[in-house]
Amino acid sequence: MSQPLRYDQIISLKPSEMDYMFEISDGHIKIKAQIFEIKTNKVASGTLFFQSLFQIYPQSQTSKIDQALKLERELQKEKYQKESMKLNKIKEMEQKVFQEYKQNIETAEKTKDQTFTMAQPVQFLLYISFSYFSFFKYRGR
Protein backbone atom coordinates (compact mmCIF):
# COMPACT_ATOMS: atom_id res chain seq x y z
CA MET A 1 0.00 0.00 0.00
CA SER A 2 1.39 3.39 -0.92
CA GLN A 3 0.38 6.82 0.31
CA PRO A 4 1.56 10.23 -0.81
CA LEU A 5 3.99 12.15 1.37
CA ARG A 6 2.54 15.19 3.11
CA TYR A 7 4.06 18.25 4.67
CA ASP A 8 4.28 17.98 8.46
CA GLN A 9 4.59 14.18 8.35
CA ILE A 10 7.29 12.48 10.38
CA ILE A 11 9.57 10.15 8.41
CA SER A 12 12.84 8.27 8.84
CA LEU A 13 15.60 8.06 6.25
CA LYS A 14 17.38 4.85 5.36
CA PRO A 15 19.39 3.53 2.42
CA SER A 16 17.14 1.27 0.35
CA GLU A 17 19.69 -1.53 0.02
CA MET A 18 20.55 -1.78 3.73
CA ASP A 19 18.11 -3.49 6.08
CA TYR A 20 17.96 -2.02 9.60
CA MET A 21 20.25 0.90 8.66
CA PHE A 22 18.98 4.44 9.31
CA GLU A 23 20.35 7.96 9.06
CA ILE A 24 20.85 9.39 12.56
CA SER A 25 22.85 11.94 14.50
CA ASP A 26 23.65 11.45 18.15
CA GLY A 27 23.42 14.88 19.70
CA HIS A 28 24.03 18.59 19.79
CA ILE A 29 27.81 18.24 19.86
CA LYS A 30 28.21 15.27 17.52
CA ILE A 31 25.90 16.53 14.77
CA LYS A 32 27.50 14.69 11.85
CA ALA A 33 24.85 12.57 10.11
CA GLN A 34 25.71 8.90 9.82
CA ILE A 35 24.18 5.59 8.81
CA PHE A 36 23.60 3.42 11.88
CA GLU A 37 22.25 -0.10 12.34
CA ILE A 38 19.08 -0.29 14.42
CA LYS A 39 17.96 -3.86 15.08
CA THR A 40 14.25 -4.73 15.14
CA ASN A 41 14.10 -4.92 18.94
CA LYS A 42 15.61 -1.42 19.22
CA VAL A 43 13.16 -0.03 16.66
CA ALA A 44 10.35 -1.35 18.83
CA SER A 45 11.81 0.16 21.99
CA GLY A 46 12.36 3.48 20.21
CA THR A 47 15.78 4.20 21.73
CA LEU A 48 17.84 4.84 18.59
CA PHE A 49 14.94 4.91 16.15
CA PHE A 50 13.75 8.22 17.64
CA GLN A 51 17.06 9.73 16.50
CA SER A 52 16.24 8.87 12.87
CA LEU A 53 12.96 10.82 12.68
CA PHE A 54 12.45 13.97 10.60
CA GLN A 55 9.43 16.21 10.05
CA ILE A 56 8.80 17.47 6.50
CA TYR A 57 8.51 21.25 6.04
CA PRO A 58 7.85 23.28 2.88
CA GLN A 59 10.49 25.48 1.31
CA SER A 60 11.09 28.61 3.37
CA GLN A 61 12.53 31.98 2.48
CA THR A 62 15.86 33.05 3.97
CA SER A 63 16.70 36.12 1.89
CA LYS A 64 16.22 38.54 4.79
CA ILE A 65 18.46 36.47 7.05
CA ASP A 66 21.09 36.50 4.30
CA GLN A 67 20.72 40.29 4.01
CA ALA A 68 21.01 40.67 7.79
CA LEU A 69 24.25 38.69 7.85
CA LYS A 70 25.62 40.80 4.99
CA LEU A 71 24.62 44.01 6.82
CA GLU A 72 26.32 42.76 9.98
CA ARG A 73 29.59 42.23 8.08
CA GLU A 74 29.29 45.68 6.48
CA LEU A 75 28.61 47.38 9.80
CA GLN A 76 31.65 45.75 11.33
CA LYS A 77 33.84 47.11 8.52
CA GLU A 78 32.39 50.62 8.34
CA LYS A 79 32.84 53.30 10.96
CA TYR A 80 29.57 55.18 11.32
CA GLN A 81 29.65 58.81 12.38
CA LYS A 82 26.52 58.33 14.45
CA GLU A 83 25.64 55.29 16.49
CA SER A 84 21.95 56.05 15.89
CA MET A 85 22.36 55.41 12.14
CA LYS A 86 23.79 52.00 12.89
CA LEU A 87 21.01 51.16 15.36
CA ASN A 88 18.32 52.26 12.89
CA LYS A 89 19.71 49.97 10.18
CA ILE A 90 19.85 47.06 12.62
CA LYS A 91 16.28 47.68 13.83
CA GLU A 92 14.99 47.91 10.25
CA MET A 93 16.69 44.63 9.34
CA GLU A 94 15.34 42.91 12.47
CA GLN A 95 11.82 43.86 11.40
CA LYS A 96 12.38 42.44 7.91
CA VAL A 97 13.76 39.17 9.30
CA PHE A 98 10.81 38.88 11.68
CA GLN A 99 8.33 39.45 8.81
CA GLU A 100 10.04 36.77 6.74
CA TYR A 101 9.92 34.40 9.73
CA LYS A 102 6.18 35.03 10.15
CA GLN A 103 5.62 34.33 6.44
CA ASN A 104 7.52 31.04 6.74
CA ILE A 105 5.37 30.00 9.72
CA GLU A 106 2.20 30.91 7.81
CA THR A 107 3.38 28.90 4.79
CA ALA A 108 4.09 25.88 7.00
CA GLU A 109 0.62 26.14 8.58
CA LYS A 110 -1.13 26.54 5.20
CA THR A 111 0.64 23.54 3.67
CA LYS A 112 0.23 21.26 6.69
CA ASP A 113 -1.05 17.85 5.55
CA GLN A 114 -0.91 18.80 1.85
CA THR A 115 0.63 16.22 -0.45
CA PHE A 116 3.62 17.17 -2.56
CA THR A 117 5.47 15.77 -5.55
CA MET A 118 9.13 15.39 -6.42
CA ALA A 119 8.85 18.57 -8.50
CA GLN A 120 8.02 20.64 -5.41
CA PRO A 121 10.82 21.91 -3.19
CA VAL A 122 11.17 20.50 0.30
CA GLN A 123 13.78 22.67 1.88
CA PHE A 124 13.69 21.60 5.48
CA LEU A 125 13.54 18.37 7.38
CA LEU A 126 13.30 19.01 11.11
CA TYR A 127 15.42 16.52 13.03
CA ILE A 128 12.91 15.60 15.75
CA SER A 129 15.17 14.54 18.62
CA PHE A 130 17.35 17.69 18.57
CA SER A 131 15.23 20.30 16.73
CA TYR A 132 17.85 20.83 14.01
CA PHE A 133 16.95 21.41 10.38
CA SER A 134 18.59 19.54 7.53
CA PHE A 135 18.82 21.56 4.34
CA PHE A 136 18.58 20.00 0.92
CA LYS A 137 19.39 21.90 -2.24
CA TYR A 138 17.95 20.89 -5.59
CA ARG A 139 20.48 20.41 -8.35
CA GLY A 140 19.30 19.56 -11.84
CA ARG A 141 21.00 16.86 -13.81
Phi-psi region of 119 (alpha: psi -120 to 50; beta: other; left: phi over 0): alpha
Tell me, what's the pLDDT at 23?
A: 65
Q: Are residues 89 and 67 in the same domain?
A: yes
**Residue 108 and residue 131 share a domain:** no
pLDDT tens over the chain, length 141 residues:
677 777 878 777 666 676 666 666 665 566 666 666 666 655 555 556 666 777 777 777 778 888 888 888 887 776 655 677 778 888 888 898 889 888 888 888 888 887 766 666 655 566 666 665 665 555 555
Closest CA to 93 of 113, 121, 122, 63: 63
Domain shared by 3 and 38, yes or no: yes
Q: Which helix or strand (DSSP H or E) is residue 105 part of?
A: helix 83-111
What pLDDT is attached to residue 32? 66
pLDDT at 111: 82
- pLDDT value at position 121? 61
Q: What is the pLDDT of residue 105?
A: 83
What domain range includes position 48? 1-58+116-141
| 98 and 120 fall within a common domain | no
pLDDT at position 9 is 80
Structural domain count of the chain: 2
